[in-house]
Amino acid sequence: MITRFVLRALDGKIVVAIGILLAIALLVPALNLLVPLESAFHVPTYAVSLLGKYLCYALLALALDLVWGYCGILSLGHGAFFALGGYAMGMYLMRQIGSRGVYGDPVLPDFMVFLNWRELPWFWYGFDMFPFAMLMVLVVPGLLAFLFGWFAFRSRVNGVYLSIITQAMTYALMLAFFRNDMGFGGNNGLTDYKEILGFPVQAAGTRNVLFAMSAMMLALCLLLASGIVRSKFGKVLVGVRDAESRVRFLGFRVENIKLFTFVVSAMMAGIAGALFVPQVGIINPGEFAPANSIEVVVWTAVGGRGTLIGPIIGAVLVNAGKSYFTGAFPEFWLYALGGLFIAVTLFLPKGIVGTIQQGWSGRKAMKAAEDAEKGRDADVLPQAAE
């Protein structure tokens, strides 16, 4: 059954995309570690982390595409799931610092010592174990998405109302995480990591492994998402997007379908956050900012929603643009981003990939029509000959 699921997931474009991702996962670390420094093909270590960051964003955009592109839920709070996954990872990394912090406390992270806390809060227990932390990366965003979706989809909150309350959700979380007494480092967040699974976080080798992990995880999630949308379930999902009431009248439990997709998507976002944190070296409440979540939406929109590959391309393109502009013309970036929002919605509603696909299938359809015309002629002639 799983084989069938995978096989159905692997249509041509997805195979190519996964192939490229796996190739990058090998190629970039190889270019960084094996190619000598002076070579033109050498990839500097900072670039490896930067690319890794883009891939995490791409995974976040992919997660959003699953709910927005295929289920019609425009979540303006996906940044919250991303940040929660990041915090789970950050907590593990904080516990790994051990007594090497500034205050040298063997158990308590520095900020807790600074705030005169005597013991670890209960929700920090277990985060010194990697498997537990990884479980939490999935469980915490998944649980939040489940609770939120349970209430929201059941009472049929949809459309812009849902968007606005997801935005309120991430806003409330941001305010909460900014508080010092929440026990997550307040304003400064979690930072100053030393090592992950015993490997130093800053080392080039670790960074390359993290990069490769990001690329492979993205490939895996792409496979999963593709499997979901190409299964029978995926067809119903698209039905929910296009005509929710009709699907409900056909006897499907729309709220359960939405809930499942929302939770899966939130978990993907959590994974993206968890991979993001060790590569960037910090997680702070700013990640919860509503503006971040909306930016994710524009990556997805630029690439093309409902295409799975589009969001990946969009995320990488927009973030590469952001890195370039904020360096070269810092004033200009917000104009460019704002203009991008407007231009994409007005002129490119299907995004880059969507538009290309449309052109492609348009040409295919035309060709098919031509063929059909010829064929019909061909068919008609013999008939006439009979």
- Give which of 303, 309, 317 is closest to 19, Cα–Cα: 309
Least separation in angstroms between CB 304 and another protein: 14
First CA to last CA across the chain, in angstroms? 50
Integer Cα distance of 221 and 242 in angstroms: 24
**Sequence-separated contacts (24+) of 256-260 with Cβ below 8 Å:** 257/71, 257/233, 258/71, 258/73, 258/149, 258/153, 259/146, 259/149, 259/150, 259/153
Least separation in angstroms between CB 160 and another protein: 5
Choose the stretch contacting another protein; rule: CB under 8 A; options: 55-63, 215-223, 259-267, 337-345. 337-345
Binding of residue 342 to another protein (CB under 8 A): yes
Q: Are 9 and 227 in contact (CB under 8 A)?
A: yes
Binding of residue 256 to another protein (CB under 8 A): no
Strand-pair partners of 282: 191
Binding of residue 64 to another protein (CB under 8 A): no
The residue (of 204 and 289) whose beta carbon lies closer to another protein is 289
Integer Cα distance of 193 and 242 in angstroms: 46
**Sequence-separated contacts (24+) of 354-358 with Cβ below 8 Å:** 354/304, 354/305, 354/306, 354/307, 354/310, 355/304, 357/304, 357/307
Binding of residue 243 to another protein (CB under 8 A): no
The residue (of 14 and 169) whose beta carbon lies closer to another protein is 169
Largest CA distance in the chain: 98
- Give the x/- contact pattern for another protein in 67-106, rule: CB under 8 A: -------x--------------------------------
CA–CA distances in Å: residue 224 to residues 14, 60, 119, 164, 314: 11, 14, 41, 28, 19
- Give the x/- contact pattern for another protein in 282-301, rule: CB under 8 A: --------xx--x--xx--x
| Strand (E) or helix (H) holding 190 | strand 190-191
In the list 62, 84, 344, 353, the residue contacting another protein (rule: CB under 8 A) is 344
CA-derived radius of gyration, the chain: 23
Choose the stretch contacting another protein; rule: CB under 8 A; options: 15-23, 27-35, 120-128, 335-343. 335-343
Interactions with another protein, residue window 173-202 (CB under 8 A): 175-176, 178-179
The residue (of 227 and 290) whose beta carbon lies closer to another protein is 290
Interactions with another protein, residue window 117-176 (CB under 8 A): 148, 151-152, 154-157, 159-161, 163-165, 167-169, 171-172, 175-176
Interactions with another protein, residue window 349-368 (CB under 8 A): 349
In the list 19, 121, 205, 339, the residue contacting another protein (rule: CB under 8 A) is 339
Binding of residue 346 to another protein (CB under 8 A): yes
Q: Which residues bind another protein (CB under 8 A)?
A: 74, 148, 151-152, 154-157, 159-161, 163-165, 167-169, 171-172, 175-176, 178-179, 290-291, 294, 297-298, 301, 331, 334-335, 337-342, 344-346, 349
